[in-house]
Structure formats: structure tokens, C-alpha cells
Structure 1
Amino acid sequence: MIKFLRLVTFSLLLSFPLALFANFDFNANCLNAYRSIFELKLGNAKAYISTEKKQHPKNSIIPLLENYVDYFTIITSESKADFDRLKGNKSARLDQISDDDKASPYYLYAQAEINLQWALIHGRFGEYFNAAMCIKRANSMLQDNAKKFPNFHLNLKGLGLINVVLGNMPDGALKTALSTFGIKGNMQGGLDMFEKLAQNLPKSSYEPFYEEVIFYYAYVLTDVAHSSSAYSKTMKYTERIADTSLLKSYLQSYVCIKNAHNDEAITILSKKPEGNLYQPFPYLEYLEGIAHLNKLDLNATAYFNRFLQTNKGVNYIKDTNLRMGWISLLKGDRNGYTSYMSKVISNGYTYNEKDKQAKNEASAATPAIDLLKARLLYDGGYLSKALQYLSDKNTSDFSSDRDKTEFNYRLGRIYDDQGKDDQALAAYQATINQGKTLKYYFAANAALQMGKVYEKRKNITKAKEAFNTAISMKNHEYESSIESQAKAGLKRLN
């Protein structure tokens, strides 16, 4: 392995002579640390960094690597305490790098990376102005670096992330803050940058950075672009990553769950690498609980309990209690359900959309059992089983406007994924008619999905009409996300 890393380092120096500047030296210690970080072996990474500090204390790659360690510590723990404890490190690291060799391509790149990592973390904890400032600095540095060093491929990683996220960002505090700086993104342009890197890095001297590129590419395909190719591209590009990487297990299982490949997610998580070498990652217990619940396996309780017991973070507490409540409901335990809904209201935070939605659902009426089962099975990709709970029913079987609307919405999503476009469109229209004045997301998202069906059929007029219908609906759940996706649909059509 060391021989290989030396060879990679030698290749880097040959292919990019500017890497010869001694104080930005991605040598064997640094490459070993970097590789350990992206396997989530943070203890190993710290050991390599410590060795490098003793051998080459002025190497300005060190503060970048230390920031990676802090970044993944916070990402895996979701801990506000870790965030508060570690955020003070940023300034000293940037100061060390800014005093170094301005003629190196790593000079601006390393500073931009640190700013970009902290932008993502600040946004995660609701500090949107700080996130915006970090993005502004990172974007400016990467733009300048791309002009100075057009052949330095790593510029595309940060620029791609900024372009995708900003190009499809929903309205909100962060978008407002960034707009004051005149920063805009181009989602397709950013995706093209990632695709170029994913294809070309393995054939270049920048191959060691491949895993990081795929980490961000999988994220933006799934959570930002909502791309239909998120699953296929993630599985394709993660295949060459070593099975010893816990990050690989996370990426694959997360994308599988988000894209209805539920059984595959369960298999991946059951085989994930474990041991004291790896950073604790309670979120994976939460993911495994979701995967089991999606197939109506009520033993999912064990995974959710382990998550709550080991989690030191602020996110997914409300959503976990909501799902525990659903399990009680599916078991016929109404008192247990009520108890968990109280926990949803009182425990946890609302930094992310999952927890915000969980709080909304806990405050609403108890869900109809058949609708809940169909919802979970649909999320897992078990379309035929999901349809079995709805096929012998009609709108009049449900008493509330919410349940009537959800019934048509669930039918529409199932028919859509089965390729039954006409039936899906009819169900979506019924959802809109029934729920367009309600606060729930069903009608707006039905209009969004209707637009996608018409777009696929190349019926531009109908597609635009549907996307505009989605945008016109206000004051409902997931409003920003649905509106941003509908606006992206209109951009595609234009």
C-alpha cells in the first residue's frame, strides 16, 4: 500500500509540477490520512496527521486534513456540542494556510475547502448567514484558482457542489443571504462537473480524491437534483471504492432507501464494516430501522432504540419517535402511539425537514392504518403490496379531507412508479381537486409529479401547466422544496 501511495504521489508531482511546493505536500502520510478519513477511520487519520506534524510541521496540507476530521466528526455525530467545540479551529487553520505559498494551486483550494465544509456544517445547524459567508469566500477562491490553474481538476469538486446546491436551492434564509452577495448557481452545470470528475479521476493522477467526489456527487444527485439516475450512478461509481469503507456503506444504503431499493439497503447495512477503527455513526441504525419498517417489519423498533440510545446529535429524534409511534399503531397499541406522539412534540429539534414534518404529523389526526401501510410499502418500492391495501377502496371509505386526499395521492405515486401514466394522472388530478386548499403537501406534490409525467411524454404545455400549479399552491408542507423542484422543471422545459 505504501509503495502504491508513493507511486501516486510521484505521479502527482510529474503531472502537476506546482505540487512540488514543499509546504503543500500531499505525501504518503497525508494520503494515508486522507484515505482513512474517507473510510471513516478517523482515529487512524489522526495518527497519520500526528506523524506528519512531527516530520513536516510546516506542511499546509495538515490544517486541511484536520478540518476534514472535524467535518466528519460533526457529520457522523450530528452533535451540537461537537459543533460548538470544534468551530473555533477554523480561523487558525485558515491563518496557517494564508501565510503559505501563494504560487501553489493548493493555496486557494485548501482555504476554499475549509470554508465550504464549514458552510455545510453551519447550514446544518441553522446558522444560515455564516453558511452564506463561507460559501461566498469558497466560491470566490475557487473561481480565482480555476483561472490561475485551469488544469487543476480539484477546483471542479467545490465549484460543482456550489453550482448544484445554489442552482436548486429552495427559498429561505440561506438563499436570501446568498442573493445579497449576487451568488447564483447552475444545477446542470454543477452536475456536469461532477460527472466529468467521476469519469476522469480514476484515469488521472488525482485518483486519490475520487471517493470524496463520489460522496458529494451521490448527495447532490439524490437530495438536491432528485435525479432519476441517482441510484444507478451511485451504485456504479461506488463499486470501485473498497468494501472496508464505512462511507461506502452509508452512501449506498442511503441512496437505496431514498430510491426504493429497500432490500438492497438492508443487505448493505447488514454487511457494513464494524469495529473500533471506525467512527461511531448512529445514523446508520436509524437508516436500518427505516429500511425494516418500509417492509412492515415491526422489529425495526430495535434499530430505532439503538439510534436513540447511542445518538448524541440533534437531528432525526422527532422522526424516530414518529416511526416508533407508527410501529405501536401497527401493533394495535393506540396508547403507545399517543405516548410517542407526545415525545415527537417535546423531544428533539427542528433543524431539518424530516423533524419539522414529524412534528406536523404528530399534531395531526391519527393516520388510517391502510394508508400508513401503503405509504411505507411504497417508500420501500413494494408497489404491488402497497396497492393491495388501496385497490379495494375509494375516496368515500375515508372520513377526513386529509385521508381522502392522501388516498388519491398514494394511488397516484404507485401508478406512476408502475408506469401506468393515465391512471397516475387521474389520481394526481383527484388529489389536486381534493387537497389544493389544505395545508398538507399531497396536492402540491401531485402537481409536481404530474408535471414530470407530462414532461416525460413531451407534452410541454401540460407539463408547464402542472409545474405552475405546484408553484401556485402556498402555505403547505415542504413548500420550498416542491416549489424549487417545479421551478427546475420549468427551466428544463425552457
Structure 2
Amino acid sequence: MYIKYLNFLQKKYIVLLFTALPLGAFANFDFNANCLKAYQNIIELKLPAARQLVAAERKARPNNAISALLENYIDYFYLITNESKPEFERLEANKNNRLNEISKDDKSSPYYLYAQAEINLQWALIRSRFGEYYTASREINRASNLLQDNSKKFPGFHLNGKGIGLINVVMGSLPDGFMKKALAALGIKGDVATGLNMLDKLAENLPKSVYEPFYEEVVFYYSYVLSDVVKSPAAYSKTMKYTARFADSSLLKTYLQAYVCARNSHNDQAMNILENRPKGNAYQPFPYLDYLLGVVKLNKLDFRAAGNFDTFLQNNKGNSYIKDTYLHLGFISLLRNDSSGYYNYMGKVKNNGYTYNDKDKQALNEASAPMPNRELLKARLLFDGGYFNNALETLTNINTSALTSAKDKTEYFYRLGRVYDDLNKNDQALVQYQNAINSGRNLKYYYAAKAAVLAGNICEKDKNVARAKSFYNTAIGMKNHEYENSIENEARQGLKRLPD
């Protein structure tokens, strides 16, 4: 009870402090207590309450342009949580109406350019999920220019750093291709180190500043780039550190912590977070969390994961993770020695869902490939869950002479290398990575190219620059395999880190 009372006092203090500051004192950009409450509800994914608060603000203060910005936040997080392209297409028209509303208001406010930049950036991030890269690149260009101009006019307005840092990391990490060329033609380039440094400083310093209410949003973007963009080994520690300040009632906290735990070998922790997440009509439906719970359960070879996958399919109204869900259901059938059930689900992978994201693209690839070896599949799942010793035991019990296909042999070497790598047995890992490279360099599967990148990472840490460069260049030299662009980009980023 005492802790709840302290949290109540802290929130009341933030509201009073924030609304007393020059931040909210501009005529038509009034980030008042009601708007702040709406914003906090959005960040906790309590979108129904946020909509009501913004509607009340519209009625009470129809000229407050902050309402347009908040409405865009609501659409942004709504689309993130449902992944629906039809909903994206329905809501897209709101963008220009909000920009027009904001453009007519107080040009002397730091929110004038900032709000326009935020709206452009949010739509670019959503748009890129559905493959609309050209339009997204133009929106990123607009957002970048607006934020740079705002930084010159209002150097003390720290919120500019959120978008500028994010753009730097994302643009600096882009693989060679259409999106990168389109942005370069528009003059937009990025620098990963600069962007990460900006976001890290914001995450450290916002709680000590008048911009504290925006802390959770900064951490949301920082966690995203650490986990998904640069795949930083610090993603888990930093995300858990910075999200510790979030309220336990925040569903965004659940998502960020569970996601980073699942991706960084803290499987049991991810399961506990997801099973104890806040629920109820106050929250925006987030079916992805049922999918993720299914994934982490199956990583522990818990076949009750099928129930979570079924719940996802029943509640999901979006276009992503459908193929990957059927793939995982097929894995459960295979591990139960039900080959016909496995092939039935592979048919569903091929005939249902979309390929907007890499998970679904890879699911389609796997559904078209030969049926996986059951023991290799077990090792793969156990490794993904961070159960390295169990994975190693599974692999060492495999009769390698029974692995007749080049695919299975290459996967065996790759997975054994991964396990040794994460058990810090570097010499043994390098041997197996080299075996995977030798065995699979001409196959369409990703094992050999990824093994080369991971071998390069080991050599980079050991300060063996020449050998690290050799492995990275080997990865770049392999073509026509799965994940080619992202693996090649990882290798190129590795080369950039090495001294000449």
C-alpha cells in the first residue's frame, strides 16, 4: 500500500511539474494535465482510455494541436499491436489531416516542427512493416529535416534527440538495397554509434529532467534498436535496466521485457512475464503476446504451446506471424512423431498469411524445404530458449552418420557451433563454424553464411583482426541464401568496426 501511495504521489508530482513548465505553455500546443494523462495511457497501451481523454480535450480545447499528435500516437500503437494492413490503409488518411491542423498553429512552439516530424516518422515506421519503403523513405527524410531544423531553433528541447537518434541507428544499419539508395539520394545517412549514444544519454538523463514523462517512449525505441536493428549483446541488460522504472500496469513493459528475454536466452523469465501480464478491457488487444508465449513454451519443448498458438490465431486480426504460427504448430506435430500432422500444417503455412516480415518469409521457406530432423529441431528450440547444456546433450547424442543430406550435416555443424559459442568454448565453436562453412557454402540455407559472421565475431573479440576480416568477407561472398541481405549487413558492420 505504501509503494502504491508513493507511485501515486510521484505521478501527481510529474503532472504538476510538467504542466508548470514552459514545455506546455504555448498557445495552441498545450500539453496540459489531461493531455499528459492521455499520453501516459497510450504508452501503457491503455488505448480505450486514451481515446476518451483526447476526445474530451478536443471538446474542451478544440484549438489545442497536441490533440492531433496524441491521436497519431493512438493510431501508431494501435497498428503496432494489431499488424493489420487493412486497418493501416483505413487510418492512413488521418496523417495529412493532422499535419494540416498542426501546420496552422503556433510556429514559435518547439512542438510545431517536432509534432510534424513525429507524425511522419511514426507513419514511416508502420509503413515499412508492409513493404512500402519508398514512401517511408520520403517520410523519414521529412522527419529528419524537421528535427534538424527544430534542434537549431530549440537546442534545449531534448525530445528532438529521440527521433534523430532513432533515424541515425536505423539508417546507419540499413543493408545495401533500394531503401538505403532512396534515402541516400534524399541526403539521409545515418551513424549507428551516434544514434545509440543519443538514445542512451536520453534514457539515462530524462528521469532527472523535466522531460521525464517521455522516458518510456525513449526506452521503447532504444530497446527496439538494440534488439532488432543492431542486435546488441547489451540489449537484455539495458532493456531490463531501463524498463524497471515502468509501472507494472504497463503492457508495453510486458512486451519489451518479454521480447528481449525471449531473444536473449532468458526463456523462463519471458514465460513468467507473459503469464503474469496485465489483462482486461482497459488494454489494447495484443495477440502477438499469445504467439510469443507459444514460442517460449515450445523452446522448452512444452507442447502446451499449441494452446497459445491457437489463441493467437483465434484473436489475431492482423497480417503477421500467421505463417510462423502454423510452422510452430507443425513442429509440435513433428516432435510428437505425427508426420501427417506436420505436413498438414506446412500446407497451412503455404496457403495462409502473408510475408511482410522475416519470420513469415522464413516460415514459408521452411515449409517448402524437406522435413527437418527431429533431434536437430529439438536442439534448435532448446538453444533458442537458452538451454545450452540440454541442446549440447541432444546434439552429441545424434548419430552423425545418419545425417545423409548436406542440409542436415551443415545444420548440425552450425548448431553445435552456436552452442559451443554461447558456452564460451570458442576454439570448439570455430571448428564447427568452419565445418558449417565448408559443408554449406553452396546451399540456399543460411547456416554457412551465418556461421561465417559468428566466427568473425569471435575473432573480432579475440583481437584477431585478419581472421575476423576473412570470416566477414567469406560471409559477404556467399550469395543466394536465406537472410542474405541481413547477414551480409551484419558482416559489413563487422568490417566497419575493425581497424584498417
Query: What TM-score do you get using the length of structure 1 for normalisation?
Result: 0.98
Alignment of 1:42 onto 2:47: yes
Q: What displacement does 1:173 show?
A: 3.2
Alignment of 1:346 onto 2:351: yes
Alignment of 1:183 onto 2:191: no
What SS is found at the alignment partner of 1:209? helix
Q: Which runs of 5+ in 2 are unaligned?
A: 1-6
What SS is found at the alignment partner of 2:108? coil
Give runs of aligned pairs for residues 28-177 of structure 1, distance below 5 A. Answer: 28-177=33-182
Q: What displacement does 1:10 show?
A: 5.1
Q: What displacement does 1:96 show?
A: 0.6
Read off the aligned partner of 2:108 and give its amino acid letter: A
What SS is found at the alignment partner of 1:389? helix
In structure 1, the residue matched to 2:487 is: 482
Read off the aligned partner of 2:267 and give its amino acid letter: N
Once the two structures are superposed, residues 116-161 of structure 1 have per-residue CA deviations (whole angstroms, 9 ceiling, x without a partner) of 0000111011111111111010000001111111111100100111
Once the two structures are superposed, residues 220-277 of structure 1 have per-residue CA deviations (whole angstroms, 9 ceiling, x without a partner) of 0000010000000000000010000001001100010011100000000011000000
Q: What displacement does 1:80 show?
A: 1.3
Q: 1:56 to 1:405 in 2, by over 3 A?
A: same
Q: Is the 8 A contact 2:258 2:270 kept in 1?
A: yes
How far apart in 2 are the matches of 1:73 and 1:173?
A: 28
Read off the aligned partner of 1:219 and give its amino acid letter: Y
What SS is found at the alignment partner of 1:464? helix
In structure 1, the residue matched to 2:14 is: 8
Q: What displacement does 1:11 show?
A: 3.5
In structure 2, the residue matched to 1:331 is: 336
Alignment of 1:389 onto 2:381: no
Q: What displacement does 1:7 show?
A: 4.4
How far apart in 2 are the matches of 1:262 and 1:112?
A: 37
Read off the aligned partner of 1:405 and give its amino acid letter: T
How far apart in 2 are the matches of 1:97 and 1:276?
A: 32
Q: Is the 8 A contact 1:249 1:268 kept in 2?
A: yes
In structure 1, the residue matched to 2:291 is: 286
How far apart in 2 are the matches of 1:152 and 1:399?
A: 62
What SS is found at the alignment partner of 1:277? coil
Once the two structures are superposed, residues 285-344 of structure 1 have per-residue CA deviations (whole angstroms, 9 ceiling, x without a partner) of 000000000000011000000001110111011000001001000011111000000111
Q: What displacement does 1:471 show?
A: 1.0
In structure 1, the residue matched to 2:421 is: 416
Alignment of 1:305 onto 2:310: yes
Q: What displacement does 1:392 show?
A: 3.3
Q: 1:48 to 1:13 in 2, by over 3 A?
A: closer
Choose which of 208, 229, 236 in structure 2 pairs with 1:231. 236
How far apart in 1 are the matches of 2:125 and 2:171?
A: 12
Q: What displacement does 1:492 show?
A: 1.1
Read off the aligned partner of 1:349 and give its amino acid letter: Y
How far apart in 2 are the matches of 1:73 and 1:118?
A: 12
Aligned residues: 493
Q: 1:13 to 1:302 in 2, by over 3 A?
A: closer
What is the aligned-residue identity percentage?
A: 61
Q: Is the 8 A contact 1:6 1:27 kept in 2?
A: no
Alignment of 1:256 onto 2:257: no
Q: Is the 8 A contact 1:116 1:138 kept in 2?
A: yes
Alignment of 1:197 onto 2:202: yes
What SS is found at the alignment partner of 2:395? coil
Q: 1:263 to 1:5 in 2, by over 3 A?
A: closer
Read off the aligned partner of 1:177 and give its amino acid letter: A
Once the two structures are superposed, residues 147-188 of structure 1 have per-residue CA deviations (whole angstroms, 9 ceiling, x without a partner) of 111111100100111011111112333223212212111011
Q: Which runs of 5+ in 1 are unaligned?
A: none
Alignment of 1:218 onto 2:216: no
Q: 1:388 to 1:6 in 2, by over 3 A?
A: closer
